[in-house]
Structure 1
Amino acid sequence: MDSPIYTVLLCRPSSNAPFHLQPIISPLLYLVQYAGTTPLSTLTPLPDPSQLPDSILNYRVQLNTQGVLSKQELSAIKQFRRAADYIAAAMIFLKDNALVERDITADDIKPRLLGHWGTCPGLVIVYAHINRLVRMTGIDALYVVGPGHGAPGILSCLWLEGSLANFYPKYSRDKEGLTALVKSFSSPGGFPSHVNAETPGSIHEGGELGYALSVSFGAVMDKPDLVCVCVVGDGEAETGPTATAWHGYKYIDPAESGAVLPIVHVNGFKISERTIYGTMDDKEITALFTGYGYQARIVEDLDNIDEDLAASMEWALGEIKKIQTAARSGKPIVKPRWPVLILRTPKGWSGPKELHGEYIEGSFRAHQVPLPEAKTDANERRMLQEWLTSYGPKELFSESGVPNDAILSLIPEQESKRLGMREEAYKAYTPLDVPDWRTFAVDKGTDQSCMKITGELLDAVVQQNPSSFRIFSPDELVSNKLDAVLRHSGRNFQWDIASRANGGRVIEILSEHTCQGMLQGYTLTGRTGLFPSYEAFLGIVHTMMVQYAKFVKTAHEVPWRQPMGSLNYVETSTWARQEHNGFSHQNPSFIGAVLNLKPASARVYLPPDANCFLSTMAHCLRAKNYVNLMVGSKQPTPVWLSPEEADKHCIAGASVWKFASTDEGMAPDVVLVGIGVEMTFEVIAAAALLRKTIPALRVRVVNVTDLMILGPFGSHPHALSDEDFDSLFTRDKPIVFNYHGYPVELKGLLFGRPNLSRMGIHGYMEEGTTTSPFMMMLMNETSRYHIAAEAVRSAALLNPRVEIDAHKTISTILHLAQKDKEYIHAHGADPAGTFDRPTFD
């Protein structure tokens, strides 16, 4: 076709155009997804797009907002907003005189003014209108708050609806409870300035920005009746994770899952700078979201903001229902365009207008505390008095501090429908039905891929848990050899004809941030997920994982929050077998990130073979409240233990491997410890080499699968007692660790154990390139030769028979290492037999 491309994209149906062409914005404008089945001859070209009026090119949804709200509804919403804004502002400033029943004095004001006012009015207005929708339609809704430090706006609404009193009786819905809330906010023992696990209804830690939207998409998966209203601040919208998360709806099957209603709160400013979204005009911002695949509706009529927002939210809910109804009736809309609202309000709306000749409302100065010297400056204190009384608290609250009837009329009557009491947010955990892993165990003495065998277990988990288990993978599932799960489940990518509407359990998107956010939302609303990844790139979500762990730690301390499933990571394609992809793919640092977490939450496992990995995976999928990291190889490696032996080994966390030890490990001169698949292989190879090279040296081989047992007793729930540690590693013999991660991590973990000077640690030394697998061991001094040489050097101090030949033996061993290096450089491959199973004949 020779016509310009816009004749395909911008077209008006002729009289015989197919009925399925869906109107998007205006009766004059259609966006056609041309799949080659509709003759283009049925479409009449529009004029050149430059000649179209702006009202069409804007792709803006136009609604009639008149008469949407009754007078009673409008009055109730306005009063709810005034009351919540008043409480939010009072929380930031006051420690007494919560209802401003007298002039505010310096003693009424907190010694430290903490909190962020600027975003609160926007969060409050959305909260009020969600309440109206819940009362009107009975929908199940969660409210996810993206803007940082918006807690005052949310807590004030929670107090008004009675949710705070439900979980915290001291914050009763009266004068005494309000005074307690106002006084304690951002004070020791009170709520922090951002939403966290202590906040009823929350499933998102409001510290680091960028993740609210992906968390929301994860929350609605497999919950078909749930609508998650997610406010994305225009500062947060500048982050990379948010930019990718806009594609999240493309992984939501409307037949099986709920919906996210994103609301971009554009108030124009960050801490001290304009936001990108705040500088975009309506045409730019609607073009952006049209490109993302949304229908955009801009809410900005400040004179009629409640009518505007009410109509917009009704429209959005209607569009969601259309998409869901079509999908659930077996006639899904191809590439449906979900709604998004752009809410434009001034920064710090309804607060002080100006101070010292500079604007506050509508500027960055409203971001945090608009009147920072209110305690010491009489003029600012007077302004605070005028600001708070402008809301008319005497009209909003009775003398006993109870909200008036109009405010209470907006709150859902059914408590379980209130945003702060949604069970999805605090007691929805459904344990997985995990099959017996022994069913998938493999024979001892064979070579198997940990990942390939574990994929078989995961396939069964998927089948037995069709609506409570998902895998979130950054485009590496097949590469990581977990693709057995695709045998009975597809990928849930809704914009792909092959996988659309198939109920796939795998979410595969090349954004670790989005995978992490979805996993968090899915887990915190009662389900269980798995995040498999190339080892080197899990670090991308390091801080996200830490933020989540902080949420879990705090949730564990909140008595009304019930247990939740664990966050489960599989770290594979490890540095030890990433020699083909090069230095950029060699990075085990995520282990250290988990080690730094609160011990109650952190679990790190390095199963040495396929049977141990099966046992570990089954355990982690059943566990609650942890961050579980499982590290294993995807390449075939020896199966050292039978299922029965693997079970006992994993329960213990570590054990002596008698088959590789001298005299089954009795009275050793040195203890060799393998931690990790390849590291353990090299330890066993070192033990075999030593038996042949210097028979006088007595070796005990130990494998550690649960890394946390090594810390000093009391430092972690799994840490061995001193007596148990000595029984494994001896009381005073040298120990040579061969560890998968960075040596400094293991040194930190072991610190506090007695007699550290006897311990030598080998691990990844940040040496790598595109080379051979064994050369990676040689470069990082984790090879059998380096372990064996240190074993001789250490044992020589205790065993005269070893000492007499130590220098000669070490020289011989290191000469073998050098010869292997030369061979690899000459031939581009490892010497034949390098990875054959060691023998001890």
Structure 2
Amino acid sequence: MASLMIQIHEAANPSPDPSLLPEYVLDLGVKPAYKDFLPKDEHLALHKFQALSNYIASAMIFLKSDTLLENELTTDDIKSRLLGHFGTCPGLTLVYSHLNRLIVKYDLDMIYVVGPGHGAPAILANLWIEDSLGAFIPQYSADKTGLQKLIKSFSWPGGFPSHINAEVPGSIHEGGELGYSLAVAYGAIMDKPDLIVTCIVGDGESESGPLAAAWNSHKYIDPAESGAVIPILHANGFKISERTIPGTNDDKELIALYSGYGYQVTIVEDLTDINDQLAAALEWALAEIKSIQTAARSGKPIVKPRWPMIVLRTPKGYSGPKMLNGVPIEGSFHSHQVPLPEAKTDKVQFELLKEWLSSYDHNSLLTEAGEPIPEILSIVPKNPAKRMGQLKETYNGYTELVLPDWKPLAKEKGTQYSCMKAVGEYLDVAFVQNPKNLRLFSPDELVSNKLDAVFNHTNRDFQWDPETRAKGGRVTEILSEHCCQGWMQGYTLTGRVGVFPSYESFLGIIATMMVQYAKFMKMSKETKWRRDIGSLNYIETSTWARQEHNGFSHQNPAFIGTVIKVKSEAARIYLPPDANCFLSTIRHCLKSKNYVNLMVGSKAPTPVFLSADEAEAHTVAGASVWKFASTDNGVDPDVVLVGIGMEVTFEVIAAAALLKKHLPSLRVRVVNVTDLMILQPNGAHPHALSTQAFESLFTTDKPIHFNYHGYPTELKGLMFGHPNLDRVTVSGYDEEGTTTTPLSMMVLNSTDRWSVACKAVEGAAKSNAGVAVDSHVIISYLKHLRAKHQEYVKLYGKDPDGLYDTPEF
């Protein structure tokens, strides 16, 4: 590789002297010598591979019959609905063919992550050529029958959709929502030292905020323990109907931008010699990766390693139709989707389509049996396991973690302890036992969230700081929630397990990313050849109930509702009421597979209500009657009070203590729900309680008041379908917040002990005459106590002492 005569202006390690920066920035970047770079046989093989793939991709968009043009094409052969995106396909195929060449030459393990997800025709065509489609889905065999079936079934009911999804071999990124490809690529190579992920970033996609943040991902990659990403910005100039920003940037601007991110940049754009130039650029990239990794793995890591990055300029939709009615198609947005959208009904477009499809001379690229000719297959890896569509990391599932017993870390019943501190202690042990397949992805809030015990035996994996570089580590911490989510997706889909803790109010930033992933996971489970993967594990902390100091902007439990809407097979939501229950829950979630797990907790010290054994039984059941806080162990109640969430459950218990003191004739049953999904009607969720179990907890006819951590409306919707819901009332977060005190926050949202007690009195008065007689007096008194508390808060700026001591019964 040293013979490539790579011309690099100014050594990039360490960073250039600031006095040289203008010259450095304005330089034309890294310029590998590429004239006559490829041997003629490889050059021809690449050209033929690309031609065949481009034919298949274009045929998939248009043809339902005569897919190999064996007869005179007619308009009846054209699909009634033309769906697909051709504009990006030639560029995607160009890169795919070259990656195959590199895999063959250097025996690489490589994944191809495609940002322009609607480039599915190109990817499917390439997978057919290398027989990865046929390996997993025999009906798409690498012969004439399989090819005809593929072309017809694309964007056809029962066939492949127009975008990449979990049904496509080799895919770990769907790309329906743009901006996440690069973060996913970097997540995939973490703790995979031999893996290279080539990531195509569409120039339209590059305009998104998540993608912009993801360019910093290489700064979190320790080359001693992880693999490498080759980012390729595909600057073809246009999105669906407008120019792109990178498409209007000149070379100097692009080099300045990506050099500033910390990359070495080379630009590939010579269409007259595109294969030679791209081949030289990719081999340069491999040489740079090898240099960085060798230095790190020999104990002499490069300070601020500047990883390679390629800008690929090709015309939008090149090799397709050039003009239509005097309007350019190739090199314009008109080629973005279907270049000839009226080909079935317009004679001019129909004739252009025939000319276009024939231009690839596809019959010379297939044998009589309809297989790719040997010349094309010469750049396809002979070992199927090395083909990008069959690399085991993309489909082979995960190895379960070696998880420590949580009970040795259990806290003493009756004490107070932060559940986040307990979780940090558990993860610390788990990291020690799983040094290569468990990571924590945190948006810059780890210490604030009291999870810093994880640093007892590991580090932050940040490579651009003298304090943390070259130490590896299980913690990747960046302020971008999008990066954390993308990294975790890539990490999980290549066989590992991730944990994502966050301030509750900011998880909504990645809500749509999570939903997209859940869809990918749903399709994965329905795709027989994909194996089980680890769950996505979210921890909500710094919740609204303890965000009285940061104020209204930091109060938002809406992510719970987002997870509720995920398919019931995947959605799991837990609100453990104390540290021991949280320890039991985190272990369960880390062991689970194919789920979106959401755990909601608190970083503040809270009472430990249950012993280790009690907590285990409670979390397994998902809910139970808390006899210690109930009247006569909860037997024959007048009203059922239910806490769902740590702080609101404490208020339920405090309310029960108030009622015992001030209205002992009221019989109350206290229930805690830790598994939210059990509340759905029987059959609506795998965890849903049976009708008998629901009635045993909540009675058949007594009033029920839920004190719920999330929005009241989402709990009502969750329970819809149960009988007699007119007996149910719900208090929860009602978007009432400010900078105040913890208990005042509860008062503002009617989840405080006095409000809960009032609800209990109102409900019990319907059936207990003794309660009814005194109800007006006791409710007035409770409201008086609540008002006095608010006055105290305004006067002294704090809650009265002792209000968070564990109530005595």
Question: Which residue in the other structure is 2:233 paired with?
Answer: 264
- Displacement of 1:31 after TM fit? 5.0
Give the secondary structure class of the aligned counterpart of 1:420.
coil
Map 1:790-805 to 2 at 5 A. Answer: 790-805=759-774
Distance in 1 of aligned mates of 2:785 and 2:297: 67
Match for 1:166: what amino acid?
Answer: A
Question: Which residue in the other structure is 1:29 paired with?
Answer: 10
Matched, 1:376 2:357: no
> Residues 758, 164 of structure 1: CA spacing in aligned structure 2 closer, same or farther, 3 A cutoff?
same
Give the secondary structure class of the aligned counterpart of 1:419.
coil
Map 1:274-285 to 2 at 5 A. Answer: 274-285=243-254
Distance in 1 of aligned mates of 2:757 and 2:477: 43
1:439 pairs, out of 408, 431, 434, with 408
Give the secondary structure class of the aligned counterpart of 1:498.
coil
Distance in 1 of aligned mates of 2:371 and 2:250: 42
Question: Which residue in the other structure is 2:484 paired with?
Answer: 515
Question: Which residue in the other structure is 1:189 paired with?
Answer: 158
1:139 pairs, out of 108, 111, 115, with 108
Does the aligned pair in 1 maintain the 2:8–2:31 contact within 8 Å? no
Give the secondary structure class of the aligned counterpart of 1:470.
strand
Map 1:753-832 to 2 at 5 A. Answer: 753-832=722-801
Match for 1:503: what amino acid?
Answer: G
RMSD value, Cα: 1.4
Distance in 2 of aligned mates of 1:59 and 1:617: 51
Question: Which residue in the other structure is 2:535 paired with?
Answer: 566
Matched, 1:392 2:373: no
Distance in 2 of aligned mates of 1:838 and 1:391: 80
Distance in 2 of aligned mates of 1:28 and 1:676: 59
Question: Which residue in the other structure is 2:673 paired with?
Answer: 704
Give the secondary structure class of the aligned counterpart of 2:54.
helix
Question: Which residue in the other structure is 2:429 paired with?
Answer: 460
Matched, 1:176 2:141: no
Map 1:547-558 to 2 at 5 A. Answer: 547-558=516-527
Question: Which residue in the other structure is 1:501 paired with?
Answer: 470
Does the aligned pair in 1 maintain the 2:793–2:799 contact within 8 Å? yes
TM-score using structure 1 length: 0.94
2:374 pairs, out of 402, 405, 430, with 405
Question: Which residue in the other structure is 1:8 paired with?
Answer: none
Give the secondary structure class of the aligned counterpart of 1:630.
strand
Give the secondary structure class of the aligned counterpart of 1:804.
helix
Does the aligned pair in 2 maintain the 1:116–1:367 contact within 8 Å? yes
- Displacement of 1:809 after TM fit? 1.1
Distance in 1 of aligned mates of 2:242 and 2:614: 61
Map 1:567-716 to 2 at 5 A. Answer: 567-716=536-685
- Displacement of 1:416 after TM fit? 0.4
Does the aligned pair in 2 maintain the 1:25–1:60 contact within 8 Å? no
Does the aligned pair in 2 maintain the 1:104–1:381 contact within 8 Å? no
- Displacement of 1:773 after TM fit? 0.5
Matched, 1:61 2:42: no
Please say which of residues 92-101 and 56-65 is displaced more in the overlay: 56-65
Match for 1:254: what amino acid?
Answer: P
Does the aligned pair in 2 maintain the 1:512–1:538 contact within 8 Å? yes
Match for 1:339: what amino acid?
Answer: P
Map 1:140-219 to 2 at 5 A. Answer: 140-219=109-188
Question: Which residue in the other structure is 2:394 paired with?
Answer: 425
- Displacement of 1:28 after TM fit? 6.0
Please say which of residues 140-149 and 612-621 is displaced more in the overlay: 140-149
- Displacement of 1:206 after TM fit? 1.6
Match for 2:287: what amino acid?
Answer: G
Match for 1:149: what amino acid?
Answer: H
Please say which of residues 372-381 and 234-243 is displaced more in the overlay: 372-381
Match for 1:637: what amino acid?
Answer: T
1:360 pairs, out of 329, 334, 351, with 329
Match for 1:29: what amino acid?
Answer: E
Please say which of residues 628-637 and 354-363 is displaced more in the overlay: 354-363
> Residues 733, 56 of structure 1: CA spacing in aligned structure 2 closer, same or farther, 3 A cutoff?
closer
Does the aligned pair in 1 maintain the 2:412–2:611 contact within 8 Å? yes
Distance in 1 of aligned mates of 2:9 and 2:268: 22
Does the aligned pair in 1 maintain the 2:501–2:541 contact within 8 Å? yes
Does the aligned pair in 2 maintain the 1:59–1:287 contact within 8 Å? no
* Structure 1 residue ranges (4+ consecutive) displaced by more than 6 angstroms after TM superposition: none
Give the secondary structure class of the aligned counterpart of 2:158.
coil
Give deviations 1:171-209, integer Å, cap 9, x for gaps. Answer: 011111111111111111111111110000000112000
Distance in 2 of aligned mates of 1:223 and 1:746: 42
> Residues 442, 246 of structure 1: CA spacing in aligned structure 2 closer, same or farther, 3 A cutoff?
same
- Displacement of 1:703 after TM fit? 0.1
Distance in 1 of aligned mates of 2:25 and 2:424: 51
- Displacement of 1:403 after TM fit? 1.1
Distance in 1 of aligned mates of 2:25 and 2:675: 62
Match for 1:424: what amino acid?
Answer: E
Question: Which residue in the other structure is 2:75 paired with?
Answer: 106
Does the aligned pair in 1 maintain the 2:12–2:306 contact within 8 Å? no
**Percent identity between the aligned chains?**
63
Distance in 2 of aligned mates of 1:25 and 1:643: 63
Distance in 2 of aligned mates of 1:621 and 1:498: 30
Distance in 2 of aligned mates of 1:31 and 1:653: 56
Map 1:468-479 to 2 at 5 A. Answer: 468-479=437-448
Match for 1:420: what amino acid?
Answer: G
Distance in 1 of aligned mates of 2:794 and 2:552: 17
TM-score using structure 2 length: 0.98
Map 1:225-240 to 2 at 5 A. Answer: 225-240=194-209
Report the count of equivalent residues: 805
Does the aligned pair in 2 maintain the 1:96–1:109 contact within 8 Å? yes
Distance in 2 of aligned mates of 1:191 and 1:344: 29
Distance in 1 of aligned mates of 2:39 and 2:776: 93
- Displacement of 1:59 after TM fit? 4.5
Give deviations 1:332-357, integer Å, cap 9, x for gaps. Answer: 11111100000000001111111122
2:315 pairs, out of 321, 326, 346, with 346
Match for 2:773: what amino acid?
Answer: I
> Residues 301, 793 of structure 1: CA spacing in aligned structure 2 closer, same or farther, 3 A cutoff?
same
2:450 pairs, out of 468, 481, 496, with 481
Distance in 2 of aligned mates of 1:619 and 1:31: 46
Give the secondary structure class of the aligned counterpart of 1:599.
coil
Match for 1:220: what amino acid?
Answer: I
Does the aligned pair in 1 maintain the 2:9–2:30 contact within 8 Å? no
Give the secondary structure class of the aligned counterpart of 2:305.
coil
1:449 pairs, out of 402, 405, 418, with 418
Distance in 1 of aligned mates of 2:12 and 2:592: 48
Distance in 2 of aligned mates of 1:187 and 1:665: 59
Match for 1:699: what amino acid?
Answer: V
Distance in 1 of aligned mates of 2:107 and 2:787: 74
Question: Which residue in the other structure is 1:78 paired with?
Answer: 47
Give the secondary structure class of the aligned counterpart of 1:532.
strand
Distance in 1 of aligned mates of 2:609 and 2:623: 14
> Residues 792, 771 of structure 1: CA spacing in aligned structure 2 closer, same or farther, 3 A cutoff?
same
Does the aligned pair in 2 maintain the 1:492–1:507 contact within 8 Å? yes
Give deviations 1:569-628, integer Å, cap 9, x for gaps. Answer: 000000000100111000000000100000001000000000000000000000000000
Question: Which residue in the other structure is 1:10 paired with?
Answer: none
Match for 1:781: what amino acid?
Answer: S
Question: Which residue in the other structure is 1:9 paired with?
Answer: none
Match for 2:201: what amino acid?
Answer: V
Distance in 2 of aligned mates of 1:143 and 1:32: 28
Question: Which residue in the other structure is 1:524 paired with?
Answer: 493
Distance in 1 of aligned mates of 2:174 and 2:210: 15
Question: Which residue in the other structure is 2:190 paired with?
Answer: 221
Match for 2:736: what amino acid?
Answer: E
Distance in 1 of aligned mates of 2:242 and 2:8: 40
- Displacement of 1:693 after TM fit? 1.2
Give deviations 1:290-343, integer Å, cap 9, x for gaps. Answer: 111111000000000000000000000010000000001111111111000000
Give deviations 1:40-90, integer Å, cap 9, x for gaps. Answer: 9xx9x77xx77x6xx982241112112321111011100000000000000
Please say which of residues 400-409 and 815-824 is displaced more in the overlay: 400-409
